[in-house]
Amino acid sequence: MQPTYWLDLFTYETWTEFLAAGANVSGFREKRWNNVQKMNKGDILLCYLTGVSRWIGLLEVVGSAFKDAKPIWTAGDFPARIPVKLVAKLEPTTAVPVIELKDKLSVFQNLKSPHAWTGHFRGSPYKWKPQDGAAVVAAVLEAVKNPVERPFDATKLYKTPPILKAAKGGLVTIPEDEPEEVPPPPLNGHLPIASAEAEVKEATAHTEIQWLLLKLGNDMGLDVWVAKNDRGKSFQGNLFTSLPRLKPTLPLQFDEATTRTIELIDVLWLKGNSIQAAFEIESTTSVFSGLLRMSDLITMQPNLNIPLYIVAPGERRAKVMTEVNRPTFARLTPPMSEMCQFISFEELRSQVSVAKNFLQFLKPEFLNAFAESCDVEDG
């Protein structure tokens, strides 16, 4: 009889604590009790390490579900528990990156947005399709038999996506920026020249536009905010923190989940306690985490009347329009296409150059003169 496969999420901390406690009990949050009760002897738990997005082990269910608050994990009680046997274990460096299985897993097929696959990794236990589970088991067992060292950014090992409560109730995870694709394999320890140059060019363009928007808002007499993980950046020797109106904190009164989302938006213009405009800069060819942040913001605050702008190279206009009008964003209330406008890098540079001698007299509404609607029905 074929086993049922279940996703089992671990942080590095909860994984090491699970091993230290004997690796014989896996635990989940109280609200997952109904799912835990559906597990049967012989079922396989697919152990996924968050932060680095890798498969790190396999567990076999050896008993019936039970409730217990005996301390095992520091992050929580995880009282909905199931007895297990450790079938396979990898180290973080030899664990299997989920992206390497993208051609074998259905969660990567027919995506409605670039990061839609991550939605399948935000809660556990979660029942997986038999073919997907079998693919993960085969990959993990092969990695145990023939381990391959796969270096990664060690800081990600200790990162966990915050789980916050939104105003409407319920828990919301706030994902950080994460590349959708694995970069091309290195040659002699370096990226191919063309790929490396493209990455540098895209990163520089993103920083340039971020600086341009920050300085524009600052010169208009508005307070400005830069994504908290970008505060240390500079462009052509100009530190973002050198702007006198750059805010060190957000004077907002939203719920915690909304605030964490807003903190990661590329650029905000503020006046007092109100947001005057929000900008997400999309300079890369595949990463659309900015659109997901806009989507999260619209979902959590549907009555939020803030001008939202997607800023990208003109050559990517059609791509942005297509993404914004995908069904997953069109079903929002209101649809993202009605909330967001598009501004090209080239048009922004041109308009700022023309207005450079009277920026202090401008108001945020001047963007409407050249920003384009993202609603396909509006042309």
Asked if residue 339 has pLDDT above 80, the reply is: yes
Report phi then psi at 226, rounded to 5.
-115, 145
Structure tokens at 359: 């920026």
3-class secondary structure, 336: helix
- pLDDT of residue 123 exceeding 90, the answer is no
Reported as a pLDDT band with limits 50, 70 and 90, residue 159 is: low
Share of the chain residues as helix, strand and coil, in percent rounded to the nearest 5: 40, 20, 40
**pLDDT tens track for 84-107:** 999 999 998 899 999 999 889 998
Measured CA to CA in angstroms, residue 131 lies from 3, 138, 185, 205, 349 at distances of 11, 11, 28, 42, 50
Phi-psi region of 29 (alpha: psi -120 to 50; beta: other; left: phi over 0): beta
Categorize the per-residue pLDDT at 60 as very low, low, confident or very high, splitting at 50, 70 and 90: very high
Confidence of residue 357 (pLDDT cuts 50, 70, 90): confident
pLDDT-derived band at 258, boundaries 50, 70, 90: confident
pLDDT at 284: 63
Task: Give the integer Cα–Cα distance in Å for 222 and 276.
Answer: 9
User: In the predicted model, what is the mean pLDDT of residues 129-136?
Assistant: 94
Percent of the chain scoring above 70 in pLDDT: 81
- 279: three-class secondary structure by DSSP: strand
- Burial class of residue 217 in the structure, from the number of CB atoms within 10 Å of its CB (0-12 exposed, 13-18 middle, 19+ buried): buried
pLDDT tens digit sequence for 292-335: 788 877 777 767 778 899 999 988 888 888 888 887 778 877 88
Checking if the pLDDT of 83 tops 90, the result is yes
Does residue 34 have a pLDDT over 50? yes
User: Which range (7-21, 119-133, 170-184) has the least confidence?
Assistant: 170-184
In DSSP terms, which residues pair with 268 in a beta bridge? 225, 278
pLDDT of residue 183: 39
pLDDT at 75 over 70: yes
pLDDT at 288 over 70: no
pLDDT of residue 287: 43
- Of 279, 228, 275, nearest to 249 by C-alpha is 228
pLDDT value of residue 134 = 95
Q: How confident is the model at residue 256 (pLDDT cuts 50, 70, 90)?
A: confident
pLDDT of residue 376: 59
Give the pLDDT score at 197: 47
111 pLDDT exceeds 50? yes
For position 245, what pLDDT does the model report? 95
Domains of the chain, each with CATH number or no CATH: 5-156 (3.10.590.10), 173-378 (no CATH)
Q: Residue 87 corresponds to which tokens in the numbers above?
A: 């079938």
pLDDT of residue 379 exceeding 60, the answer is: no
Does the pLDDT of residue 116 top 50, yes or no? Answer: yes
pLDDT tens figures, 209-227? 999 999 999 999 999 999 9
What integer best gives the mean pLDDT of the chain?
A: 82
Residue 174 scores a pLDDT above 70: no
Q: What is the mean pLDDT of residues 47-54?
A: 90
The DSSP secondary structure of 78-101, one letter per residue, reads --EEEEEEEEEE--TTTSEEGGGG
Contact 18, 55 (CB under 8 A): no
Average pLDDT for 164-193: 43
Residue 231 has pLDDT above 70, yes or no: yes
Structure confidence at residue 350 (pLDDT) = 93
The residue among 350 and 110 whose pLDDT is bigger is 350
> Quick check: 157 pLDDT over 60?
yes
